[in-house]
Amino acid sequence: MSVTLLVGSQKQLADGLPWLRQFAESMKLRADILVLGLDHRTLELRSQKELESIGAGSAKQATEKSPNRVERVEADVEAISLQLAKWDSRLLLMVDDVDDDRFQATLFDRCAIKSVWLSSKGTPPESSHHVFSIDDSSDKVTRWISRRLLGMDPGLHLDHEWLTELAKRSEPPSDSESEHPDPIDAAIEKALSLERQRCDPGDLVWVPFGSKPSSEPHYKVARALLGQSTQASVALVSQKESWNQSLSASVRYWAGHVAEPMDREARLELARSLEEGSEPSLEFLGLISAAAMLAAFGLLQNSAAVIIGAMLIAPLMTPIMGAGLSLAHGNRPLFRRSLLSIGIGFAGAFGSSFLFGLLVRLVHHPVVTDEMWGRCNPSPLDFCVGLVGGMAASYARTRSHLSSALAGAAIAAALVPPISTAGLQASFNVWESTERGWPVFGPLILVCVNVLTIMIGTSFVLYARGLRVESGHKWATRMTVSLVTLLMLVLVWMMHLEKWLF
């Protein structure tokens, strides 16, 4: 476990090292450094040299068992998060940089571990009389943070109750209040004035946050203090991770150990390919119709070989993966286009197999074969086919040396034969349920279940491989939760299907 300093320049390294040493010693953790930018070899060597010279006390004892580490990392939030998870880092320390302010704000907001965003005006304070909490309302949290990182309580308050009052007044003003100054601007002006009046060089002001700093009412005030303070060092602290951020970090860590993360160019290329393949087209409709007719022939002949052949030409994998990508990316237009393609493919497959069944009736007595009955009795075990097939196919698409065609055939196996079965049974006018299954509706339910499980499995793998939404995208979260809930309801219903159907 470690405290990690993120640096992108010599100045950040010089300003951050005393604080890194203090935090590491206080927390009794190893001190590590991440150098921002894969081309900063010189800064990496300088960081390694400086890091070797700061080992003392608790930090030195930690390094005797596991040496301090310095590595370069891509200037990407996900790459940094993955490296922090790999190192089992417990705290990220960033020194404020005006030129990199937007990136630091994004990282501070999205980082899954505790983070300190620091504007340094000197070395860490040695007395509690130089440590300020922002106000009375945050005193309890600030004491915990200060004890943990500095080994001392804050001895002073910058002000009393103004932050609490700001939270109460952060709603848009009514018409009668519209002529008054913006409470945020007033709070910023007051905070900067207090910092200049009450703080001396060498002081430190703690500003605590929860797991989503940008959503809290005092965020803009804290950012103003961070960038415009003239006397004291200011430290913004995201104090704890939420369960979903912890889960997200665990997923990224697991995915990074299964396979190397996709680089940015590979992610963009895969996303572009899936978006193009998810567009409805006559080519797609023709291929899915041909696959459904071939599958219908195999079902009538009880021929597994012919059914497998139909799976190989069915183009259903791409639009369903496109829908999974839209959930991972939060891309609502792509989700609509993918659903349209899936719907067109479903209609084409059902219609072509229905017409094929009508042609069969002209020359042959209609018979519902064992292969067809096998797809008329959906069960909870069928969930595994779509889920595993979707995860395998999407993982294969993210790995250039693996064939995605075979995984695509696994997806088609879960979709094309059931649709063809439903079309044939409808054309044969077989609707009554028997002990062998539920004609027409059973295969259609199976198709719907498989589409949902493939979509969810795909979105999970794509998210884990780096094609993911920005934190806090509400539509993607709501849609994913809705689909999982729907899937669970269908699962419960299917578990009781036999009891009331037969």
pLDDT value at residue 242: 45
Looking at the structure, tell me whether residues 246 and 229 fall in a common domain.
no
Tally the residues of the chain.
502
| pLDDT of 249 strictly over 70 | no
Confidence (pLDDT) at 339: 92
Residue type present at position 222: A
With H, G, I as helix, E, B as strand and everything else as coil, classify residue 215. helix
pLDDT tier for residue 58 given thresholds of 50, 70 and 90: very low
According to DSSP, the residues that pair with 95 across neighbouring strands are 118
Q: What is the pLDDT of residues 447-495, one digit of tens each?
A: 888 889 888 888 888 887 777 665 556 788 888 888 888 888 888 877 7
Tell me the pLDDT band of 248, cut-offs 50, 70 and 90: low
- pLDDT confidence of residue 57: 39
Q: At 29, which CATH number?
A: 3.40.50.620
Domain count, the chain: 3
Examine the domain organization and report whether 81 and 128 are in the same domain.
Answer: no
Of the candidate ranges 139-153, 246-260, 344-358, the one whose mean pLDDT is the lowest: 246-260
Using the CB atoms, write b or e for 194-208: b if 16+ within 10 Å: bbeebbeebbbbbbb
Lowest average pLDDT, out of 12-21, 428-437, 446-455, goes to 428-437
Instruction: State whether 350 and 447 are in the same domain.
Output: yes
**pLDDT winner (highest mean) among 6-10, 187-191, 354-358, 459-463:** 354-358
Q: Is the pLDDT of residue 418 over 60?
A: yes
Answer yes or no: do 74 and 128 share one domain.
no
* Residue 232, pLDDT score: 83
151: Cα separation from own chain's centroid: 35
pLDDT band per the 50, 70, 90 thresholds, residue 259: low
Residues 208 and 281 in one domain: no
> Based on the domain organization, do 369 and 276 belong to the same domain?
yes
Distance CA 488, CA 345 (A): 25
Least confident of 110-114, 162-166, 423-427: 162-166
Residue 261: pLDDT band (50, 70, 90) is low
Given pLDDT bands bounded at 50, 70 and 90, which one contains residue 63? very low
Characterize the bridge pairing of strands 2-7 and 233-238: unpaired
- Residue 395's pLDDT band, with cuts at 50, 70 and 90, is confident
Whether the predicted pLDDT of 351 surpasses 90: yes
Identity of residue 249: A
Q: Looking at residue 465, what is its pLDDT?
A: 78
Q: Is the pLDDT of residue 362 over 60?
A: yes
420-439 average pLDDT score: 86
Tokens 């709070």 correspond to what residue? Answer: 187
Query: Residue 204: is its pLDDT beyond 90?
Result: no
Q: 3-class DSSP state for residue 427?
A: helix
Percent of the chain with pLDDT over 70: 81
Full domain range(s) for residue 214: 120-239
Least confident of 91-95, 138-142, 480-484: 138-142
Residue finishing a domain among 209, 239, 269: 239
* Higher-scoring residue by pLDDT: 383, 289: 289
Regarding whether 193 and 54 lie in a shared domain, the answer is no
Residue 290: Cβ within 10 Å count: 17
The CATH number of the domain where 389 resides is what? Answer: 1.20.1080
CA dist., res. 87 & res. 258, Å (int): 16
- Statement to judge: residues 283 and 421 lie in one domain: yes
Per-residue pLDDT tens over the stretch 26-36: 888 889 899 98
Q: Strand locations in 210-303, DSSP E?
A: 233-238
Burial state string for 306-323 with b = 16 or more CB within 10 A and e = fewer than 16:
bbbbbbeebbbbbbbbbb
Question: Is 352 in the same domain as 439?
Answer: yes
Residue 308 shares a structural domain with residue 438: yes
Same-domain check for residues 77 and 136? no
Local structure of residue 138 (DSSP, 8 states): G
pLDDT, averaged across the chain: 79
Q: Contact at 8 Å (CB) between 221 and 205?
A: no
pLDDT tens figures, 281-311: 888 899 899 989 998 988 888 888 888 777 7
Sheet holding 2-7, edge to edge: 70-73, 30-36, 2-7, 89-95, 114-119, 233-238, 204-209, 131-133, 156-157
Q: Which tokens go with 403?
A: 């064939």
How confident is the model at residue 422, as a pLDDT?
A: 92
- Helix (H) or strand (E) segment spanning residue 117: strand 114-119
Amino acid at 480: T
458's enclosing H/E stretch is helix 441-464
Q: How far apart are CA 440 and CA 434, in angstroms?
A: 12
b/e map of 20-33 (b: 16 or more CB within 10 Å)?
bbbbbbbbebbbbb
- For tokens 């998210």, what's the residue? 463
* Higher-pLDDT residue of 193, 340: 340
Give pLDDT, residue 344: 92
Q: Are residues 363 and 403 in the same domain?
A: yes
Q: Would the pLDDT of 250 be above 60? A: no
Separation of alpha carbons 408 and 418, rounded Å: 16
Average pLDDT, integer, range 39-59:
74
From 174, 208, 239, give the residue that closes a domain.
Answer: 239
Phi, psi torsion values for 394, nearest 5 degrees: -70, -35
